Structure 1
Amino acid sequence: MINCKQGLFKFDLTNEEEERALLLHENSIIIDMLFQGPLSPSAIPEEISNKLKDRCEPFKDDMMTYSGMSSKLISRMSVNDEIPEFKDEWYQSGITAGNRQLNLSSLESIIMSMAEVQQQFDSIAWLSKAVSADEIRAAKQQNLKAGIITAQETHGLGTNLELLESLYDFGLRVLQLTYNTQNYIGAGCAEKSNAGITNFGINFIERLNELGIIVDTSHCGKQTTLDACRYSKKPVIASHTGVENIFNHMRCKSDEEIKAIANTGGVIGVFAMPWFIHDDPNQTTINHVLDHIDYIINLVGVDHVGIGTDWPMSDVTWSLIYFKENIAPKLGFAKGNGPSTESIIGLEKYSYFINFTRGLIARGYADSEIQKIIGGNWLRVFEEVCG
C-alpha cells in the first residue's frame, strides 16, 4: 500500500483528486525505464553511509574502483536484506517494473554485472526478471516487482554479434547504442562530429530488431538518433532524455529527433535529472519535469512519452560528490555538469513517485492518458519489440 502522506508535492489538489490519484497510481502498471532506485541517498540511513565510507576508503587510490564501490556494496546489502528500505521504497513508489542495468563497457564488467543482476533475481523473492510484456502484467497481478534488463553502452561487445545474442538469452531487452562518445556503432551526444550511424551500426540495429532488443538512443548524437530511427524496423526509444527547446543541453533531444522517434512508434522517456532540464539544479521541481512531458505530448501526442527518471541513484552522498568531481569528466560530461547531489524537489525519494500521477492530474490529463504516460506506452513498445 502506498503511503500518500509522505513527500507530497504541493499541487493544490482537492480531496477528491487526491483519492483519484491514489487509486489510479495503485491500479496502474507503472514503468520507470531508467530506474536507478529504489534507494536514494536520502533513503539510506546515515549509519550505513558512514560504514560504507570506512569500507571504501582503502581503495581511494584507484579512482574508478572507489567511485563505484559503494553502490556495489549497497546492491549486495540489499540482496542480503541488510537494507530494508530497498523493498520499502520500491513498494511505496508504486513502480511495477524498472530496469536492472548491465555494464557492457568491457568483458570483465559484462561478467561482473551479469552476476550482480542475476543475484538480485535469485535472492529477492518479490523481484522477477521480465523478458516479455505478459511477465510485467503478471508481476502487477501478483503484487511482485519486475526487472527489465538493459544496458547503456556497447563498447565491451566490440563487433561480436554472437555475444549480443548471448546477452539476449540472459534477458537483455533494451540496449543504448552509444554513451556520449564515439564507438563502433555511432557518435554519441558529446561528439562534435555528429557523424551518425556507421556501416557496422546498421548491421547492429538489424540484429537488435531480429533478436527483439529495443533500440535506445538516449545518449546518442542527433544524427545517430535520426539514423537509428531510419534503419530500425521496430520502434526506437530514448529511455531517459529531455526537450532541447526547453533546456538546451547535449543530453536533450531536438524536435526533429522527438518526431523521428515517435514516427517509429517509439517513446521518449523524460528524466528527473536537475542539471539537464532546468537552469538552476537547486530549484528544479517535478513541475519542470512535467513541462518536458507536456511539450512532447503537444509535439507528437500522448502515445509517445514515458518516464525514465535516471535519478536519484542507489548511492550515498559522499560517493556522488566524488563521482561528479573525478569520474563524470571522463565520461564526456563537461566539468561541473555531471550528476551530483541535487535532486528534483518532489522526487527526492522513489517513494514519492506518486507525484507524477498527482502532477498529471493537476495538469488536466484524463486517467487513460496518465496510464499511458506512467507505464502504458512503455508496455506497448516492450510488447511490440520483445513479445
Structure 2
Amino acid sequence: MPVQMQRRQLLKALAAAGLLTQLSPLNGWAKTAGKPLYIDGLSFLPEDLADLGASKLDAYLCDISAIEAIEQADGTTNYKRTYNACVKSIGEALARVNANPDKLLLGRSAKDIQTAHASGRTAVFFQIQGADCVEQSINQDLNQVDEFYERGLRVLQLTHHYGNRFSGGALDNDGKQGLDLPLTKAGHQLIHKLNSKRMLIDVSHSSPQSALDSAKASRAPIVQSHGAVRAIVNHARCSPDEVIKAIADTGGLFGVFMMTFWLTTEQTPTTDHYLEQLKHVANVGGIDAVAIANDYPLRGHEKLLELNNDNAEGVKQYVEWWHSLRARGVLGFDHDPKHVVIPALNHIERMERIDNALARAGFSSGDRAKIMGGNWQRVLTEVLG
C-alpha cells in the first residue's frame, strides 16, 4: 500500500477516534481562559498594529505578496505575484515584523504559535498567492523556492484565478465554458519541492482538477486557505465537494472566507449563511477539515467599513470586473453580485463573533476549538514541524 494512502487512512482513523487533537504537541494551551485558539487562514499585515491585539488572533496566514497587473489578450486583467515584486515585498514585510518584536513573530514552525500566544504576540506565517514568483526558474531545481523559504515564506499558493505553468486556474476559460485544467509536469515538480522544504501547499484559486491532482501528488496535507462551497453557490471560484473531500483526505483543511458574493445568493448575507458554509465543509470533509479565513484586512473590508457596510453601494466596485468575466462565459458570472460582506462579521472582532455564533448554533466546545484554530494548528504542525 502506498505510504501516502497509509497516512491518509491513519489520519481518518485518528479523527474518527477523536485523537487528532489529543495527539497535538500543543494540546493543553489551545484553550486559555475559555477561549479557543484563534487562527485565520488569510489576511495581511495591518497598517495599525493595534489591530493585532483587537482581533484576538493568535496566528494567521499573512499574504505578503505584491502584484503586477497584466492585461490579457481577451481584455481582462490578471494580477500576478511576480518574482521581482515578491522579493521586494517579502523583504519589506520581514523588516516590519523584526521592527515590532513586541507585537509580531514570524512563523517558521508551528511552535511559534505557542511562543506568540504565551508572549501576547501574533504569529504570522508568510504566504504568497501564486507561484508566479518562481516562474523565472530556468531549471528543474526551482531554487527560487529555497530563496523565498530562507526569507521566511512558509505557504505558497499555486496560482491566482488564472493558470500558470504549474496549475490551472479557477477562472480559466475558453470563451464558452470553463476549462478544468490539470496540474502540469512543472506543477508536480513544484509539489515535490514544496514537500521536501516542508512548505504548505495552498490550492486556493486553482482549477478543480489541479486541486485534485495536487491532493494526489502531495506527500503532506494541503489546504485551500480561503474559498467557498460550489454546492451552495454554483460559481467557478467555489469548490466542488470532490475537491473539499480530496483536501480533507490528505489531512488538510478548507478555510471559508468572507467574500459574500461567493457565500450566498440571497439578497442579504448573514452570519447564518457563513455557518451553512462551515457545516457543509464538515459534512463533506469532516470536522477536522473546517477552518476560518478572512481574505480582507484584519479589521474588515475597509471600503465597506467606510460605507457603513452598505452592500448595495459597496458591490459597485466589483461590477466591471464581474461583467468582464461574464463576457467570457465563466461559470457563475451570469448573475450580478448583490453584496460584499456580512455586516456583523466585517469587524475586527469577527473571530470572537464567529465563535459565539457556533456556540449558539449548538457546536460543541471541542468542535469550535478545531474550527477556530485547532485544525490550522494541527496542519501547520504536521507540515512545517
| 1:143 matches 2:120 | yes
Q: Identify which of 112, 115, 119 aligns with 2:91.
A: 115
- Residue in 2 aligned with 1:134? 111
Post-superposition Cα deviations, 1:353-373, rounded to whole Å, max 9, x if no partner, equal 211111111121111111110
Q: Identify which of 250, 265, 286 aligns with 1:301.
A: 286
Structure 2 Cα separation of the partners of residues 98 and 322 of structure 1: 29
Shift of 1:99: 2.2
Q: Identify which of 337, 354, 357 aligns with 1:356.
A: 354
Name the stretch that deviates more: 284-293 or 321-330: 321-330
Structure 2 Cα separation of the partners of residues 122 and 329 of structure 1: 42
Shift of 1:111: 2.6
Correspondences of 1:244-323 after superposition (within 5 Å): 244-280=230-266, 283-311=268-296, 315-316=302-303
- Residue in 1 aligned with 2:10? none
Match of 2:278, SS state, is helix
Q: Identify which of 161, 166, 169 aligns with 1:188.
A: 169
- Residue in 2 aligned with 1:224? 210
Shift of 1:262: 0.6
8 Å Cα contact 1:93-1:351 kept in structure 2: yes
Post-superposition Cα deviations, 1:103-147, rounded to whole Å, max 9, x if no partner, equal 262233113311331132022231110111111111111111111
Match of 1:237, SS state, is strand
User: Structure 1 residues 330, 144: CA separation in 2 closer, same or farther (over 3 Å shift)?
Assistant: farther
| 1:153 matches 2:153 | no
Q: TM-score, normalised by structure 1?
A: 0.75
| 1:237 matches 2:223 | yes
| Percentage identity across paired residues of the two chains | 28
Match of 2:234, SS state, is coil
8 Å Cα contact 2:235-2:333 kept in structure 1: no
Structure 2 Cα separation of the partners of residues 276 and 37 of structure 1: 24
Post-superposition Cα deviations, 1:142-181, rounded to whole Å, max 9, x if no partner, equal 1111111001111132152111111111111111111111
User: Structure 1 residues 149, 305: CA separation in 2 closer, same or farther (over 3 Å shift)?
Assistant: same
Q: Identify which of 33, 53, 67 aligns with 2:41.
A: 33
Shift of 1:328: 7.2
Structure 1 Cα separation of the partners of residues 383 and 189 of structure 2: 17
Structure 2 Cα separation of the partners of residues 111 and 137 of structure 1: 28
Post-superposition Cα deviations, 1:16-73, rounded to whole Å, max 9, x if no partner, equal xxxxxxx8786322110112475xxxxxxxxxxxxxxxxxxxxxxxxxxxxxxxxxxx
Structure 1 Cα separation of the partners of residues 34 and 324 of structure 2: 41
Structure 2 Cα separation of the partners of residues 143 and 383 of structure 1: 20
Structure 2 Cα separation of the partners of residues 239 and 199 of structure 1: 23
Count of matched residue positions in the alignment of Structure 1 and Structure 2: 318
Correspondences of 1:48-59 after superposition (within 5 Å): none
Q: Identify which of 101, 104, 107 aligns with 2:63.
A: 101
Shift of 1:315: 4.2
- Residue in 2 aligned with 1:55? none
Q: Identify which of 318, 326, 349 aligns with 1:324.
A: 318
- Residue in 2 aligned with 1:67? none
Q: Relative contact order (C-alpha < 8 Å, sep 6+): which is higher?
A: 1
Structure 2 Cα separation of the partners of residues 328 and 170 of structure 1: 36
Partner amino acid, structure 2, of 1:299: V
Partner amino acid, structure 1, of 2:289: H
Shift of 1:263: 0.6
List runs of 5+ in structure 1 lacking aligned partners.
Answer: 1-22, 39-74, 79-85
User: Structure 1 residues 267, 112: CA separation in 2 closer, same or farther (over 3 Å shift)?
Assistant: same
Partner amino acid, structure 2, of 1:190: L
Structure 2 Cα separation of the partners of residues 336 and 103 of structure 1: 30
Partner amino acid, structure 1, of 2:373: G
List runs of 5+ in structure 2 lacking aligned partners.
Answer: 1-30, 67-80, 173-177, 308-313
Structure 2 Cα separation of the partners of residues 336 and 116 of structure 1: 40
Match of 1:167, SS state, is helix
8 Å Cα contact 1:283-1:345 kept in structure 2: no
Name the stretch that deviates more: 95-104 or 160-169: 95-104
Correspondences of 1:344-383 after superposition (within 5 Å): 344-383=342-381
Shift of 1:339: 9.3
- Residue in 1 aligned with 2:24? none
| 1:167 matches 2:148 | yes
| 1:210 matches 2:196 | yes
Match of 1:91, SS state, is helix
Post-superposition Cα deviations, 1:275-300, rounded to whole Å, max 9, x if no partner, equal 111114x6111211111111111222
8 Å Cα contact 2:113-2:123 kept in structure 1: yes
User: Structure 1 residues 112, 339: CA separation in 2 closer, same or farther (over 3 Å shift)?
Assistant: farther
Say what the alpha-carbon RMSD is for the aligned residues: 2.8
